[in-house]
C-alpha cells in the first residue's frame, strides 16, 4: 500500500524517492510541507509515460512546491540512501543552498545530472544516481548476454554449417 500523508514524516534535509513507474523522481524535504527538486518540463505528479520525455531535455528548473503536489497519487518513501557512505551536510547548509537555487534553470542530463544527482549533491556534497548506475549495470549485463548469445549462435552455425558441408561433399 502506498504511504499516505499521515505515514512517514520527513525531516528537513531528508531525500524522498517518488515512484513514477519506470523511474524514480527525487526531491529534498525543506520543512513546512515543502520540497525542492530539479524538474524537467515534463516532470509532474501523475504525468505517467509523458514524464519519460525528460530524457530528451537538456535544461530543468529548480522548484519549491508542496510535497503533495509533487507526490500526487504516486508511492514514495524517505530514502537517505547514502547515509552509510557519506556524512550528510549540516541541515542548515542543505536548506540554505537548496533555497538559493529555487527558480534557477540548470543543465539536465539523465545520466550525469538528473533529479537524484541534484538532491544527493545537496545532502552529501556528492552528485550520485543509483538508478543510473543500476540501469547501466542492467544494460551492460544485457549487452554481455546478447554478445554471448551471438557468439554461441555463431559457433553453432560454424559447427553445424561445416557438418552440412561435409554431408554435401560425401
Q: Which residues are catalytic?
A: 25, 37, 115
CA angle, residues 135, 18, 103, in degrees to nearest 5 = 100
Q: Is 137 buried (19+), middle (13-18) or exposed (0-12) by CB count in 10 A?
A: exposed
Strands (E), 40-142: 59-66, 75-78, 105-107
Distance separating alpha carbons of residues 71 and 161, to the nearest angstrom: 58
Amino acid at each position: 500500500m502506498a504511504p499516505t500523508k499521515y505515514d512517514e514524516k520527513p525531516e528537513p534535509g531528508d531525500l524522498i524517492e517518488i515512484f513514477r513507474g519506470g523511474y524514480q523522481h527525487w526531491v529534498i524535504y525543506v520543512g513546512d510541507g515543502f520540497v525542492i527538486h530539479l524538474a524537467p518540463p515534463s516532470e509532474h505528479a501523475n504525468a505517467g509515460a509523458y514524464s519519460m520525455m525528460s530524457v530528451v531535455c537538456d535544461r530543468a528548473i529548480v522548484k519549491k512546491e508542496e510535497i503533495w503536489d509533487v507526490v500526487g497519487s504516486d508511492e514514495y518513501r524517505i530514502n537517505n540512501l547514502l547515509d552509510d557512505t557519506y556524512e550528510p551536510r549540516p541541515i542548515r547548509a542543505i536548506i540554505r543552498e537548496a533555497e538559493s537555487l529555487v527558480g534557477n534553470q540548470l543543465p539536465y542530463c539523465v545520466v550525469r545530472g538528473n533529479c537524484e544527482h541534484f538532491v544527493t549533491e545537496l545532502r552529501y556534497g556528492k552528485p550520485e544516481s543509483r538508478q543510473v548506475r543500476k540501469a547501466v549495470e542492467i544494460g551492460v549485463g544485457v549487452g554481455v548476454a546478447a554478445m554471448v548469445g551471438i557468439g554461441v549462435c555463431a559457433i553453432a552455425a560454424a559447427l553445424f554449417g561445416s557438418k552440412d558441408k561435409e554431408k554435401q561433399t560425401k
